Amino acid sequence: MLFSALATLLVPVLAADVVVPVGRLDKDRTTQDTPNKDTQDFHQPSYPEHPFFDYQESSNITALLGKTAVLNCRVKNIGNKTVSWIRHRDVHLLAVGGFTYTSDDRFTARHAAASQDWLLMIHYLQERDAGLYECQISTTPPQSHLIHLSVVEPETVIAGGPDIYINTGSRLTLTCSVLHSPEPPAFIFWYHDNKLVSYERTRGSGMEVSTERGSVTTSRLLVQDARPRHSGRYTCDPANSRRRSVTVHVIAGDQPAAIDSLEYEPPLVGTCTFTATR
Ligand SMILES: *[C@@H]1O[C@H](CO)[C@@H](O)[C@H](O)[C@H]1NC(C)=O
Ligand SMILES: *[C@@H]1O[C@H](CO)[C@@H](O)[C@H](O)[C@H]1NC(C)=O
């Protein structure tokens, strides 16, 4: 951990010792430069401007738990300077130039020759990876830019659970939403008592499924005319998020209409009548 603590101090030294390539300072290049493997894909433009960050292209990011996060640091006019990645939390040096410095092999540094982008990839994201990462240019004094990584886990919610009671003949609508998902799930499946509910309107089942994708993706399962056979366990199973279940109880039609009729819609067809008795 001494190494980590000294990381910031070491960067300029490491940069000078390890990364600065030899030669190739010719002002007029007539032939294409082929980067030397030993000197790690590094160019030395001859213009003298000071390096600076492109903040637009080095922004905060949000990534999914268990997936890969790609943090980018874009630096213009790098000259003969070096770009390093440091984890802010414990001042742990992660990458110098295109080298990965940490022993944690979930981290990979990437830098293509002549590119202005220094990438830090973090694989198999964990909650504890969330936080600030510092992109540092080895100027004197060093220039720093902080990038925040959020690690999110999508959440599945079914409105009205865990138990839903409705009258026979009522309309049943189950609404399942996927929250905190950086991209909409590729699909959302519904199961009724472990049997897949088809997206195609199947004759006889009386169930319809529709899905709207967006920053919150919502899937609805609709039964226009709920029957006792529609009772049971309904499971919403999104591609990128945990499955969730509710239990639906369709109350037999001959029971007194003791339930608030505003919440439970009356039957759509007039074959059964409710008689309110006091
Ligand atoms: C980097 O370039 C500057 C001028 O552009 C030069 O003064 C300096 O010595 C160079 N540093 C290294 C480590 O080559
Ligand atoms: C990046 O995240 C940090 C920490 O959450 C925040 O302070 C900063 O304003 C964010 N920057 C941008 C450009 O959103």
pLDDT in tens, 105-127: 999 999 999 899 999 999 999 99
- Same domain membership, residue 174 and residue 126: no
% helix / strand / coil in the chain, to the nearest 5?
Answer: 10, 40, 50
- pLDDT at position 201 is 64
Q: Which of 50, 80, 140 to mutate to test the pocket of ligand 1 (most atoms within 8 A of CB)?
A: 80
3-state secondary structure of 239: coil
Look up the domain containing 127 and give its range: 52-152
Averaged pLDDT of the chain: 78
Antiparallel, parallel or unpaired: β 117-122 and 107-110: antiparallel
- Same domain membership, residue 177 and residue 79: no
**CA dist 22 → 37, 50, 83, 224 (Å):** 12, 21, 17, 75
* Of 205 and 168, more confident: 168
Q: Is residue 41 part of a domain?
A: no
User: Hey, whose CA ends up nearest to atom 11 of ligand 2?
Assistant: 60
Q: Phi/psi of residue 47, each to 5°?
A: -70, 150
- Same domain membership, residue 96 and residue 65: yes
56 alpha carbon to ligand 1 midpoint, in Å?
28
Token pair for 228: 């006792």
Residue 225 has pLDDT above 50, yes or no: yes
Residue 114 is part of a domain; what is its CATH number? 2.60.40.10
- Same domain membership, residue 237 and residue 159: yes
Kindly give, in sequence order, each residue whose CB lies less than 8 Å from that of residue 2, ignoring residues fewer than 6 positions away: none
Residue 218 has pLDDT above 90, yes or no: yes
Q: Is residue 258 part of a domain?
A: yes
Q: How many domains does the chain have?
A: 2
234 alpha carbon to ligand 2 midpoint, in Å?
40
- Boundary of a domain, candidates 152, 177, 197: 152
Give the pLDDT band (50/70/90) at residue 12: very low
Q: How far is CA 113 from the centre of its chain?
A: 29
Nearest ligand 2 atom to the CA of 148 is: 2
- Same domain membership, residue 135 and residue 72: yes
